[in-house]
Amino acid sequence: MAMPFQKPKGTQDFYPEDLQIREKIFNILRKTAINYNFKEVESPAFENLDLLTKKEGEEITSQIFNLEKKGDESFGLRFDLTVPAARMFIEKQKELPKPVKWFYISRMWRYEKPQAGRLREFYQTSCEIFGSSKPEADAEIINLATGCLISLGLAKKDFIVKLNNRKLLEGLLLDIVSKDKIPEVMRLIDKRSKLSPEAFDSELKKTNLDPKKINNLLTLELDEIKPKNKLAEEGLGELKSVMRLTSPECTRFDLSTARGLAYYSGTVFEIFDAKSNFRALAGGGRYDQLIELLGGQPTPATGFAMGYATLNLFLQEKGLLPQISMEPEFYIGVVDEQSIEKAIAIANKLRINSVVEMDLMQRNIGNQLKYANAIKAKKVIVVGPDEIKSGNITIKDMKTGKEVKKRISDL
């Protein structure tokens, strides 16, 4: 016997219960974003390959799902939502009042090794602000990200916002490494939390860097930093301005927060559960050069993304997954073939306001009632010749056993 087909590695099936939980979470995140006056947008699942590979770094470029080339067109599945949102913004850049505040809740794809909380096809909530270079915009993004978590029932003590500034980090690195090595060092620092200390030091040595100097730098506290160049000084100023506008209860300075995508340019952050049991719940930052890079007028921008897979695992651990109800309000049992038309008419009336199930398999009434119990129907109505003749039905509450008679015409 042939093996049954299985879903592709790194993807997730959503059965009815899973999908209802997911949609409840999405609706909570959607309402929170709307309360911050962000407007929802959507874009195609695939984009021109030239757009996706413009400036994402070698690692992300290798993870793009390329579609088969048709004629002279080359497309790839989107790997994040910021780049498509940037393209959309550029198309209407001149006519949009600034700042523009948009959010997505959608799926994307990356070809990489699947792990807990990291899939090849995954869902994210992504929020972007185009048009403001001020710390208020960065703070708005961070406060929205934390607001999303709080709206799901989490407390500020349950998570940590690790905050940094790439200008500050790059400026400090220039004091100990050559400029040409900065991109490679930043890439390694971004991976630091996923590597053992020994593996991190080994990777640094491969690029002829001194692990001791790098590690000493990354352990600096905010009040210990003394900038020696303009880049570091500018980054430190930006960072302090943003931190002043965010909650000190959950925000922590962390110089090792670098963010992997090549388009980040200033303030960056990642949100983790307080016990560090999971991958990052969310991450984002400022990307002031991206709009110009993609052909738009120079525009400051900042944003964040929150992945569903890790968020779901964390909410499950905390016992905060939304409560769902899959039980139909009514089950309509059909006594015989002659009663089917009337049973359908009753079901159609009730379905205007209620979830209704009825027999679709011509089972006897005993087996129908067993099925009603199996699907946990709240109330049962039996329709047969007696009910049709009298014009009355009996509605039985399956939990209490209480029965109520009602005229069919009054439904």
Same domain, 150 and 259: yes
Whether 1 shows a pLDDT value over 70: the answer reads no
State pLDDT tens for residues 144-172: 999 999 999 999 999 999 999 999 999 99
Q: State which residues form the domain around 405.
A: 330-410
Q: What is the CA radius of gyration of the chain?
A: 28
Same domain, 103 and 46: yes
Q: Tell me the CATH number at 96.
A: 3.30.930.10
Q: What one-letter code names the amino acid at 402?
A: K
* 10 in any annotated domain: no
CB 148 within 8 A of CB 32: yes
Q: Residue 278's CB: how many other CB atoms inside 10 A?
A: 16
pTM of the model: 0.91
* 1 in any annotated domain: no
Whether 334 shows a pLDDT value over 70: the answer reads yes
Same domain, 233 and 364: no
State the Cα angle at 30 between 100 and 104, rounded to 5°. 50
Same domain, 49 and 126: yes
User: Which DSSP string do the residues of 140-188 spell out, in sequence order?
Assistant: HHHHHHHHHHHHTT--GGGEEEEEEEHHHHHHHHTTTS-GGGHHHHHHH
State pLDDT tens for residues 230-283: 999 999 999 999 999 999 999 999 999 998 777 899 999 999 999 999 999 999
State residue 92's pLDDT score: 97
Whether 318 shows a pLDDT value over 70: the answer reads yes
The pLDDT of 339-343, averaged and rounded, is 96
* 143 in any annotated domain: yes
118 DSSP 8-state letter = B
Same domain, 362 and 272: no
Name 359's Cβ contacts closer than 8 Å, sequence gap at least 6: 332, 333, 334, 343, 368, 371
Whether 57 shows a pLDDT value over 70: the answer reads no
Same domain, 349 and 294: no
Whether 55 shows a pLDDT value over 90: the answer reads no
Q: Tell me the CATH number at 383.
A: 3.40.50.800
* 6 in any annotated domain: no
State residue 126's pLDDT score: 98
Which H helix or E strand runs over 191?
Answer: helix 182-191
* 184 in any annotated domain: yes
Tell me the pLDDT of the chain averaged across its residues: 94
Same domain, 131 and 203: yes
Higher model confidence: residue 189 or residue 25? 25
State residue 336's pLDDT score: 95
Same domain, 223 and 75: yes
CB 64 within 8 A of CB 111: yes
State residue 349's pLDDT score: 96
As a whole number of angstroms, the distance between CA 303 and CA 138 comes to 8
Burial (CB count within 10 angstroms: exposed 0-12, middle 13-18, buried 19+), residue 407: exposed
Beta strand extents in 218-300 (DSSP E only): 251-253, 267-273, 282-286
Last residue of a domain, one of 317, 345, 361: 317
Task: Please state the domain count of the chain.
Answer: 2
State pLDDT tens for residues 394-404: 999 999 999 99
Higher model confidence: residue 177 or residue 299? 299
The pLDDT of 177-197, averaged and rounded, is 88
As a whole number of angstroms, the distance between CA 117 and CA 387 comes to 54
Same domain, 310 and 360: no
Last residue of a domain, one of 273, 291, 317: 317
The pLDDT of 89-106, averaged and rounded, is 97
* 322 in any annotated domain: no
Q: Which two tokens stand for residue 372?
A: 């009603």
* 375 in any annotated domain: yes
Same domain, 312 and 336: no
The pLDDT of 48-60, averaged and rounded, is 79
Last residue of a domain, one of 258, 291, 317: 317
Same domain, 347 and 311: no
As a whole number of angstroms, the distance between CA 124 and CA 145 comes to 12
**Best CA proximity match to 276, nearest among 158, 119, 191, 118:** 158
Same domain, 303 and 356: no
As a whole number of angstroms, the distance between CA 293 and CA 302 comes to 15
* 324 in any annotated domain: no
The pLDDT of 15-29, averaged and rounded, is 97
Q: Residue 180's CB: how many other CB atoms inside 10 A?
A: 7
